């Protein structure tokens, strides 16, 4: 990872200042998630950290000298004159304007989220030069936020059908365990923070720090004491009951939860012989709640079986919607093998068996923060207009005959609300409508700053 913004790009882009037409004075480019098979709508999120941390740091003479040396050795041209203008005349800040939709907004695929335009007529190439860093900064947190939201909608549907308190239950129904499964700490921070737009349960502490640093969130997420296999198996198989009892004693308290992984040896034996057997009375005498965690087996039928066995052992009540809710001393969390598809299947099976979704929580790890890529939502950044020396804007677009789905938008874009839906228009066709793509950054100055509460409110609307 480099702190040198000049090098945070594709090698070939260093030659682009020699490739634009000589009359070019400004380039406009936009970012969108093109129509895709994963989600019809995306939850836009994550531009603000890039503005604050990357564009907010001016380039230095050292950066220019380093980039020039690397490009020379690497075999690509280097625009020393252009970068020196940025340093000497713009204080090291890129002369660009970035317009964007409000973060947290739910946006149909195919509608621009961000638009970039150069502001110094000598440096039109800058808008597309930053594509690599800017697109990466947007596609990843937006994709994770969209995936997390997809799970939220599935879980919310199950809660609304079966729970007496769907709004109170929902924020803690999907827990992020993904920190160890991502490619870097930066990914953990951005992805973990993106998940927290939709939920409040996480073990990814980098996400908490990112939400605090970039969006002013005092504390965006919460966790509970929980066992892992190392802490349980260190007691040895013969003392499995003692290991569980220690968890019950160490973390009891009014309203407190503790999660105990229970499949280190034999889940069914643990459910019937320990939780529902030798430790049953101890569980029922506690002030807090035991959350049993299966961690292997079929990701749908195994947690369902756990709920059913706990119902037989601890009982519960039938709620006002006619669904079974376990005794408040016990719950289940399933974190292994969870995807939007398996979550949906588990929700359906719980309902088929007459159990409220109150009884179970879900967890996701690498599947939440790592098993996504730029093509999940078909993200792209494309130039859409060029201004010439006379001040006239000309359309720029691609239209590949071999893949019409990759055709790009021509002309500077605007986004307007049409009824209850957002649509893209050309700026020159905007008329009296309000353009929701508003300037958020210009020439090193932050123009709009969102709070985490604002982002969450838009995403939940």
pLDDT of residue 29: 98
pLDDT of residue 17: 97
pLDDT of residue 385: 98
pLDDT digits (tens, 9 = 90+) for 38-76: 999 999 999 999 999 999 999 999 999 999 999 999 999
Q: Which residues of the chain have pLDDT under 70?
A: 1
pLDDT of residue 1: 65
pLDDT of residue 2: 77
pLDDT digits (tens, 9 = 90+) for 105-147: 999 999 999 999 999 999 999 999 999 999 999 999 999 999 9
Ordered domains of the chain (ranges, CATH): 5-142+381-460 (3.20.140.10)
pLDDT of residue 86: 98
pLDDT digits (tens, 9 = 90+) for 229-270: 999 999 999 999 999 999 999 999 999 999 999 999 999 999
Q: For strands 324-326 and 257-261, give the pairing.
A: unpaired
């Amino acid at each position: 990872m480099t702190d040198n913004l000049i090098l945070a790009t594709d090698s070939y882009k260093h030659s682009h200042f020699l490739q634009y037409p000589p009359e070019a004075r400004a380039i406009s480019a936009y970012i969108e998630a093109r129509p895709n098979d994963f989600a019809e709508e995306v939850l836009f999120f994550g531009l603000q950290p890039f503005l604050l941390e990357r564009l907010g740091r001016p380039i230095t003479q050292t950066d220019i000298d380093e980039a020039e040396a690397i490009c020379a050795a690497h075999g690509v041209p280097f625009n020393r004159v252009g970068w020196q203008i940025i340093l000497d005349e713009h204080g090291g800040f890129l002369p660009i304007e970035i317009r964007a939709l409000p973060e947290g907004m739910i946006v149909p695929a195919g509608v621009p989220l961000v638009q970039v335009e150069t502001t110094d007529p000598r440096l039109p190439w800058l808008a597309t030069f930053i594509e690599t860093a800017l697109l990466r900064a947007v596609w990843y947190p937006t994709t994770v936020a969209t995936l997390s939201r997809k799970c939220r909608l599935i879980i919310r549907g199950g809660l609304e059908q079966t729970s007496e308190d769907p709004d109170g239950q929902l924020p803690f129904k999907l827990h992020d365990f993904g920190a160890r499964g991502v490619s870097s700490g930066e990914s953990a921070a951005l992805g973990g923070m993106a998940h927290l737009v939709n939920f409040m349960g996480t073990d990814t502490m980098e996400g908490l720090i990112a939400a605090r640093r970039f969006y002013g969130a005092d504390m965006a997420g919460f966790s509970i004491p929980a066992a892992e296999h190392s802490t349980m198996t260190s007691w040895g198989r013969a003392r499995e009951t003692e290991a569980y009892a220690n968890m019950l004693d160490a973390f009891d308290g009014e309203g407190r939860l503790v999660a105990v992984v229970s499949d280190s040896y034999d889940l069914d034996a643990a459910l019937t012989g320990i939780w529902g057997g030798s430790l049953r009375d101890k569980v029922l005498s506690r002030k807090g709640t035991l959350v049993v965690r299966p961690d292997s087996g079929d990701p749908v039928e195994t947690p369902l079986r756990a709920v059913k066995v706990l119902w037989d052992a601890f009982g519960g009540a039938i709620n006002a919607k006619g669904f079974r809710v376990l005794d408040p001393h016990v719950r289940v969390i399933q974190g292994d093998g969870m995807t939007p598809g398996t979550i949906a299947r588990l929700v359906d099976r719980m309902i088929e068996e007459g159990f409220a979704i109150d009884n179970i929580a879900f967890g996701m790890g690498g599947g939440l923060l790592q098993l996504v890529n730029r093509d999940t939502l078909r993200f792209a950044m494309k130039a859409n207009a060029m201004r010439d020396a006379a001040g006239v804007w000309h359309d720029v677009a691609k239209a590949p005959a071999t893949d019409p789905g990759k055709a790009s938008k021509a002309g500077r874009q605007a986004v307007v609300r049409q009824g209850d839906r957002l649509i893209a228009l050309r700026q020159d066709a905007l008329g009296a409508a309000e353009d929701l793509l508003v300037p958020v950054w210009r020439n090193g100055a932050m123009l709009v700053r969102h709070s985490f509460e604002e982002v969450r409110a838009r995403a939940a609307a």
